[in-house]
Amino acid sequence: MTKDSAIATVTSAHEEPIHFGGRDLVIDYAKPLGPSQTENTPNNRLYFGRFADGEGALRELLSKYSDSLVSVYFMREGTTGEQLHSGFLEFTDIDVATEVLNEMNGTVVPNGDTFFLSYARPKRDRNTTGGERRYGSGSQRFQNNRGPRESYTPRESYTSRSWDQRGGQRGGQRGRDSRDY
């Protein structure tokens, strides 16, 4: 799709709305990318995408930088564990990573795909010491930073009745007497 055809489509959709499945289909321009979505801070880790040939072929493609390549990591699909066509490359320093990015980004690889590289985002801090937890089990001592949970005390009606008075082993009668059925 060209820029002109995209402009014509949006203009046409504003003049006469498109109905699809009994609903109006809204077509508009995409929001421009913000600064966090365009470029990441230079570092020694690169994100790669569109490489389906595996680690051996990737190391061969980057053989010129083999002395500086610290690690290759392919991401995996969460449920099946299948290797994805993207991952991370770690180099000894930022200068080598920048050189690889400038030289190899957009390279056509042997299978015909265009190899994509960008600086990796910094790893998220996985603070295990706590902080605010929004979702969790009822056994957490602090819920939503509102302070300690009150301890549980059973209702008196449960503690003052005997086992038989509470319905015995099978839960007792519920509602009507069984002879009324």
Q: Are residues 16 and 58 in the same domain?
A: no
For 116-139, the pLDDT digits (tens) are 999 998 877 776 555 555 555 544
Q: Are residues 52 and 115 in the same domain?
A: yes
- Tens digits of pLDDT across the chain (181 residues): 688 888 888 888 888 888 888 888 888 877 765 554 456 889 999 999 999 999 999 999 999 999 999 999 999 999 999 999 999 999 999 999 999 999 999 999 888 889 999 999 887 777 655 555 555 554 444 445 555 555 555 555 555 555 555 555 555 555 555 555 4
Determine, yes or no, domain membership for 124: no
Q: Which of 89, 119, 149 represents a domain boundary (last residue)?
A: 119
Q: Are residues 107 and 79 in the same domain?
A: yes
Q: Which residue range(s) make up the domain with 102?
A: 35-119
The CA-to-CA distance between both ends of the chain, in Å, stands at: 72
Determine, yes or no, domain membership for 95: yes
pLDDT value of position 122: 83
How many domains in the chain? 2
- Per-residue HEC secondary structure of the chain comes to CCHHHHHHHHHHHHHCCEEECCEEECCCCCCCCCHHHHCCCCCCEEEEECCCCCHHHHHHHCHHHCCCEEEEEEEECCCCCCEEEEEEEEECCHHHHHHHHHHHCCCECCCCCECEEEECCCCCCCCCCCCCCCCCCCCCCECCCCCECCCCCCCHHHHCCCCCCCCCCCCCCCCCCHHHC
pLDDT value of position 110: 85
pLDDT value of position 23: 84
Q: Are residues 50 and 92 in the same domain?
A: yes
pTM of the entire predicted model: 0.52
Q: Are residues 111 and 77 in the same domain?
A: yes
pLDDT value of position 175: 53
